[in-house]
Amino acid sequence: MPQLLTRDRARIGDTTAVAELAARAQLRSQVGRLERELARLSAEAFPRLVIDHRVAGSSPAPRVLGLGELERIRDDLADRVSEARRDLAERAAFEARNRELLQALLAAPERHRGLEIGRADVGEPGCGGWRSVPRYGLLGMLMGWWRVKVSSGCPIAGRLAAVEQQREAEAGRTAPAQGRAREGAGADAGVDHRPPPERVGQAAARPIS
């Protein structure tokens, strides 16, 4: 009888270990699938939307995670994937509305006076965008003549480049002047501009008045 009980306990222990291994493998598979999905959504959204795809570890030291910890990681990843999908869908709807507004702006800029739409607002990379501006300044504003101005560059980078070019131009104009000044100073460095001393004989030959 004791032998039968021992065999039953061993059989139950083996069954529990097998079930735990199967559950652990299934949880790891689910965690891996959710990690890949989160990384895919992050790559799809970038650079329009930043989605954090990092997975924080539960312990600084390497160890085997328990079933409860694996379940918590899986549930956290599932929530983050759902949130990323929702944010990406909202961003796509926002860009779609702006693309429709851009078409209306291009078709009739006078109906959207002063409206400005950036490239990022329609899901395109880069800086710049489209803006409704009057033709010929104040005259066009009074007459109702409007057009779409397309900007293809980053304004901050453009201003910095203009400032840098201005500095280089000023440095280029200053360098020759400084060089000429140095040359003049070098040429005059060994010249004595004092009047020559009078000879003794010349001084004696002068008549005394």
89 lies in the same domain as 138: no
**Which pLDDT belongs to residue 110?**
94
Average pLDDT over residues 14-20: 79
138 assigned to some structural domain: yes
pTM above 0.85, yes or no: no
Residues 35 and 79 in one domain: yes
Instruction: Give a yes or no: residue 13 inside a domain.
Output: yes
What average pLDDT is seen over the chain? 78
Task: Answer yes or no: is 174 within a domain.
Answer: yes
Reported as a pLDDT band with limits 50, 70 and 90, residue 112 is very high
Indicate whether 192 belongs to any domain: no
**Does residue 16 sit in the same domain as residue 34?**
yes
Note whether residue 145 is domain-resident.
yes
Rounded Cα distance, 128 and 103, in Å: 17
Residue 199 belongs to a domain? no
Q: Say yes or no to pLDDT of 105 above 90.
A: yes
Q: Tell me: the pLDDT tens digits for 153-192?
A: 665 555 555 666 677 777 666 545 555 555 555 544 444 4
All residues at 6 or more sequence positions from 58 whose CB lies less than 8 Å from its CB, including other chains: 65, 69, 72, 73
- Same domain for 164 and 145, yes or no, is no
How far lies 115's CA from each of 108, 125, 139, 140, in Å?
11, 20, 19, 16
Q: Does residue 147 lie within any of the structural domains?
A: yes
Structural domain contains residue 72 = yes
Please indicate whether residue 48 or residue 12 has the higher confidence score (pLDDT): 48
Specify whether 87 is located in the same domain as 167: no
Domain total of the chain: 3
What percent of the chain clears pLDDT 90, i.e. is strictly above it? 44
User: In the chain, count of helices (H) and strands (E)?
Assistant: 5, 3
The answer on 34 and 88 residing in a single domain is: yes
Residue 159 structural domain: 153-182
Look at residue 152 in the predicted model and tell me its pLDDT.
79
